[in-house]
Structure 1
């Protein structure tokens, strides 16, 4: 994976989540939907799985520094049915975790995940696959940084949920 793309995949989320922290009008209130903490946990779990899958393909030596990942890296890079499951499972978990978000945003994330999977396993050009990874990452980070609201409990007589 080109270093420029790797830097972009790290920088874009940092910029979008920083923007969310700085600008009070974010998340985009008109379209934002509340997600539960269990959904956010699933979103985090699935996202880590996707990052690990991608890293196992492009940064094998780095992933193998994590104890117990030798078999995982091998399975991912064999590109067989185990590799497919190790991609589809976390991608599906992410989509399920986003189910309460705007339907168009969920559809875009799901379609970009499908495009990543198809370009990964169809022996097509690497540049196409890397483009799909960039689009999927942008769709996912855009959805979570701009649309996702969390439930915060307020103390006192008002026990309603707020952002």
Structure 2
């Protein structure tokens, strides 16, 4: 807001306009600061429907993938060892999903966190080794960048969405 008009005269009631504008902004922000307290006070029940649907979707999609694996392996002409490994991995994942649903959810969450923490530690070790190999001039910078990009993707997947692993 200008202090003076084009004619050089002081802007009329400038201080009042600034004060009122400031007051309106404060009044408009007050509900935003009070909203968390109002929500806690209201004690809304937890919505477990989402968690139930998420568990159902994870179990059903993994089961369907296991059932479709032989057909997909034939269509893609996949190596039998690759198919065996993927089948074992998906069955292990399905078993973990079932354990989490039937067993103690805290145990399933703890195991998931342990797994992610260990995988992140493994990624850090891989990074250290790659840099050592590059410093020893046993690998090229281009190889280092390619490997780092691959590890970055894996790390982001572990950190960004730990609950969305399928």
With structure 2 as the length reference, what TM-score do the two structures score? Answer: 0.31
More helix by share: 2
More strand by share: 1
**Higher relative contact order by CA 8 Å / sep ≥ 6: 1 or 2?**
1
Q: Which has the larger radius of gyration?
A: 2
